[in-house]
Amino acid sequence: MTADDIIVEIHCLEHTYTGGVRVDLCGTDFRVTRGQRVAVLGPNGSGKSTLLKHILGILQPTKGKVVVFGEDPARHYNHVRQKIGAVMQNADEQLIGPTVFDDIAFAPLNFGFSREETRTRVEEMLHALDIGHLRERLPHYLSGGEKRKVALAGALVFGPELLILDEPLEGVDYTSRQEITAFLHKLHADTGMTMISTMHDMDLVCDLADEGYIMQSGGRIDLHGRIVDLFFHHDLAQYNLAPPPLAQLVTRLNAHGLHLPLTLDVEVLAEVLGRR
Amino acid sequence: MNLYHIDYLAVSGTSGLHRTPAGVKLCVLAGVIAVLLTWRTVPVAFSTLGALWLLAAFEDLPLRTLLALVSYPLVFLAVLLISVQHLTVAGALPLVLRVLALTSAVVLLLLTTTYPAIFSALGRVLPSGLVTALFFTYRALFILSGSLDNARTALHLRAGLSWRHPAATLRNLGTALAHVLVEAIELSQRMAENLTVRGFDNRIYTLERRP
Amino acid sequence: MSHIHLPDGVLPLWLWAGGYLVAALLLALAWRWGRRETDAKRFALLGIFAAMMLLVMSIEIPPYHANLSVVTGIILGPALAVLAAWIVNVFLSFMGHGGVTVAGLNTLVIAIEMLSGYAVFHLLRRVRVPLAVAGFLAVIIGLGLGTGASYGIIVAGAPTINASLRAPETTHEHEPGPLTDAAQGGHLDLHRLAILMFGFGAIGWILEGIISAAILVALNRVYPDLVIRAETARIPES
């Protein structure tokens, strides 16, 4: 692995908010390499969003080190911002353009892309996310799922190398959820884009991440490992987290001596059980 | 609030006026204002008013809404007219007709033009910073309205609005608004973060579409 | 709110055009002063507070409607407050709530409310007047001055309004000798107008004052910095 492959590196980060609330993100070092899909998990108030904001350069650490693409993002934000796309927790607050088309075009035009290139890229994103029919709609008339797709299009349109997703599918209906998950899968398979996400839904973690960091209440990064290992080999209850129902089922069946493979893939498990 | 209703009608309409470019409609509005303020006579005001309403009927616009919106400024004109001594019908008529015609022209624009289209058109003559602020306010109106509705509902459910206890009601209203303001301040912080992440450079662009 | 609820076509050209001119100058100054905040923050704050003012105006306390002009002035500070006043008036014009031509004058009236409210509030706080009292008095004085400005505008436009109110047949008469009142046609009774504007207005100021004081007290519990030391637009870090 070369130094260029390290996309994000965080060491013993501490942040104090105005009013004195301190978030201590010390513990296991946080490191994300090119092409990884990483989930940051933890109970409410553990500092997941704070961590993401540091990666985005929105916050400046009180202590510790944050390096993104080899730079301190809070100090040299202009150097790294074009490499990072982000979908924040509330997509509604992220949509700023007057229409869907203008909103997706927002970042490329700000980053100095030509109007013609911006138009081409916007059209590509509308097509990729299957939201061409929304192009002239005003953001406040979109559904939750549509807003999320538009926000995602706006985050990807300028071709970032790193995608940050803060609770990407919170409050999104089942169909849109499936569509967005499938899109992100394909995006990763096609481009190898690095993704860092936070989420509460453990089923979703299996779909959107290969590795995970688990944070304690109060902020300490406690565990790091493959998602499968985290769900099958650690007691997540102490972090106020529950493994997905599939992992719980496999664990219980194995306790009854079934010796099933430790998998989070429904298809694999169904096939194994079907064969028996 | 009128804004949401007007916005919906402007967005969902399909009439010829809806399809006319906002810049053209703004220029026509400016022309109508100029005519009505230059020739302050009953025939000019009456014929302009008639033409505007005929246009609205021809374009199948909701005339009741138009009437409701047009009559609103008349209430305030009435307050002014209450202060007039020796008011005669002949004296008030030109003023009333002129106000009706001018308001009809503005409301016709509003019912057939989306706010973003109006702001984009204004962007050709106003500094970009001011137009950007208008766009932000427009977005914020729709994001914040939910918070205000929630506060209103909470006050109703918890008997916070009882005019038998006016002082307590006003205090409750103030406290509820303070909560909404706190939410609004936090929202502004998050919006600023989103803007920073998306490379905001002090203006909102609108792209002409490919034919 | 004491802005002029006058429709288009009532005030003379020189008055509303002059209003636009002075408002433009004030806006240009405010834009320069406001540059201290980072731009993303500035735009977000402006948009949110202008939207809040517009939304709060939908809360009717008949015959009055609430607004947050003085609270907004106190929190945003002079520079951003002036910009917010302009935005609010553009929206009011484009909601059919106020005339398009009087938007400049209305911007000045609301700016007077905001700036005087801001100044009074800080002055009173400096001499240790309790927060609620300072907020209440700031609103009363701010809205009072705003109403005064509105009244002044109508007084300035009165000759034109009176000319409009004269029946056409009387305006073209050139009979010698003094005209009777009836022959002269209607004319604005400025005394009656003052009673209407300040009398009814005062009820509104008191209602607004109580609501604003409650807002400032509640806000002070959450964001004390915002209320007490709001010399310029300042928002807490998230």
Positive or negative CA dihedral for A65, A71, A75, A81?
negative
Alpha helices in chain B (DSSP H): 2-12, 16-19, 22-38, 42-58, 63-82, 89-112, 115-122, 128-157, 166-197
Give C209: exposed, middle or buried? Use CB within 10 Å, 0-12, 13-18, 19+: buried
The pLDDT assigned to C104 comes to 94
CB–CB of B99 and C8 under 8 A? yes
Judge whether residue A81 has pLDDT over 90.
no
CB A208 within 8 A of CB A195: yes
Chain C residue whose CA is closest to B73: C7
**Cα separation of A34 and B207, whole Å?**
34
Q: Which residue has the higher pLDDT, B211 or C17?
A: C17
In percent, how much of chain A has pLDDT > 90? 52
Q: Which of C60, C116, C62, C58 is nearest to C85 (CA)?
A: C116
CB C234 within 8 A of CB C223: no
How is domain C13-163+182-228 classified at the CATH fold level? Arp2/3 complex 21 kDa subunit ARPC3 (1.10.1760)
Q: Going edge to edge, which strands form the sheet with A221-226? A: A84-87, A162-166, A194-198, A37-41, A211-215, A221-226
Instruction: Indicate the angle between helix axes C131-165 and C201-222, nearest 10 degrees.
Output: 150
**Cα separation of A212 and C230, whole Å?**
43
Which of A21, A110, A124, A137 should one mutate to test binding to chain B, selecting the residue with the greatest count of B CBs within 10 A? A110
Paired tokens of C40: 């993303």
The whole-angstrom distance between C236's CA and the closest CA on chain A is 7
Contacts of B142 in chain A (CB under 8 A): 139-140
The pLDDT assigned to C225 comes to 72
CB–CB of B194 and A96 under 8 A? yes
CB–CB of A98 and B135 under 8 A? yes
The pLDDT assigned to C237 comes to 43
Contacts of A139 in chain B (CB under 8 A): 139, 142
User: Domain for residue B152, yes or no?
Assistant: yes
CB–CB of B193 and A53 under 8 A? yes
CA distances from A197 to A8, A124, B186 (A): 13, 24, 22
- The number of CA neighbours under 13 Å toward the Cβ of B200 is 25
CB C43 within 8 A of CB B195: yes
The pLDDT assigned to C168 comes to 55
| Cβ of residue B49 closer than 8 Å to a chain C Cβ | no
Q: Which of A101, A110, A139 sits opposite B198 (nearest CB)?
A: A110
CB–CB of C215 and B182 under 8 A? no
In percent, how much of chain A has pLDDT > 70? 99
Cβ atoms < 10 Å from Cβ of B66: 22
The pLDDT assigned to C185 comes to 65
CB–CB of B73 and C7 under 8 A? yes
**Cα separation of A171 and A168, whole Å?**
9
> Is A3-243 a CATH 3.80.10.10 domain?
no
| Cβ of residue A184 closer than 8 Å to a chain B Cβ | no
The pLDDT assigned to C229 comes to 52
b/e string for B90-126 if b means 16 or more Cβ within 10 A? Answer: bbbbbbbbbbbbbbbbbbbbbbbbbbbbbbbbbbeee
Residues B61 and B88 in one domain: yes
Residues B11 and B106 in one domain: yes
Number of domains making up chain B = 2
The pLDDT assigned to C61 comes to 64
Paired tokens of A158: 């300028």
CB–CB of C237 and A53 under 8 A? no
| Cβ of residue B38 closer than 8 Å to a chain C Cβ | no
User: Domain for residue B156, yes or no?
Assistant: yes
Contacts of A97 in chain B (CB under 8 A): 204, 206
Binding-site residues on chain C for chain A (CB distance < 8 A): 225, 236-238
The pLDDT assigned to A26 comes to 83
Paired tokens of C159: 């000759």
- The number of CA neighbours under 13 Å toward the Cβ of A122 is 29
Contacts of B116 in chain A (CB under 8 A): 98-99, 102, 138
All chains having 3 or more CB pairs closer than 8 angstroms to chain C: A, B
**Cα separation of A145 and A121, whole Å?**
21
Q: What spatial distance separates the first Cα and last Cα of chain A, rounded to whole Å?
A: 42
Contacts of A139 in chain C (CB under 8 A): none
Mean pLDDT of B29-36: 93
Q: How many CB pairs under 8 A join B and C?
A: 270
**Cα separation of C161 and C4, whole Å?**
15
Peptide bond preceding C63 in cis form (omega within 30 of 0): yes
The whole-angstrom distance between A190's CA and the closest CA on chain C is 34
Per-domain boundaries in chain A: 3-243, 244-276
**Cα separation of A17 and C177, whole Å?**
80
pLDDT digits (tens, 9 = 90+) for A3-36: 678 999 999 888 888 767 788 888 888 999 999 9
Q: Range of B168's domain?
A: 127-197
The pLDDT assigned to A187 comes to 94
Q: For all residues of chain A together, what is the average pLDDT?
A: 90
* Cα angle B116-B118-B122, degrees, rounded to a multiple of 5: 115
The pLDDT assigned to C176 comes to 46
Mean pLDDT of A153-157: 95
Contacts of B7 in chain A (CB under 8 A): 138
The pLDDT assigned to C238 comes to 38
Per-block mean pLDDT, blocks of 10 residues, chain C (238 long)? 70 93 94 74 88 84 76 91 93 83 93 95 91 95 94 92 68 46 69 88 89 89 69 40
Identity of the residue numbered B72: Y
CA distances from B169 to A258, B161, B180, C211 (A): 65, 5, 16, 9
Query: Which one of B92, B120, B148 terminates a domain?
Result: B120
The pLDDT assigned to A133 comes to 95
Positive or negative CA dihedral for C24, C26, C30, C32?
positive
Cβ atoms < 10 Å from Cβ of C169: 11
**Cα separation of A219 and A224, whole Å?**
14
| Cβ of residue A53 closer than 8 Å to a chain B Cβ | yes
Q: Given pLDDT bands bounded at 50, 70 and 90, which one contains residue B156? A: confident
Residues B55 and B80 in one domain: yes
**Cα separation of C109 and C73, whole Å?**
13
CB C19 within 8 A of CB B89: no
Give A221: exposed, middle or buried? Use CB within 10 Å, 0-12, 13-18, 19+: buried
Contacts of A111 in chain B (CB under 8 A): 199
CB–CB of B206 and A98 under 8 A? yes
User: Domain for residue B208, yes or no?
Assistant: no
| Cβ of residue B132 closer than 8 Å to a chain A Cβ | no
pLDDT digits (tens, 9 = 90+) for B135-151: 999 999 998 988 888 88
Looking at chain B from residue 96 to 115, which residues have their Cβ under 8 Å from any Cβ of chain A?
114
The set of residues, in sequence order, having a beta carbon less than 8 Å from that of C59 and lying 6+ positions away, is B152, B173, C65, C66
Q: Which residue has the higher pLDDT, A218 or C117?
A: C117
CB–CB of A99 and B116 under 8 A? yes
Q: Which of A58, A111, A122 sits opposite B199 (nearest CB)?
A: A111
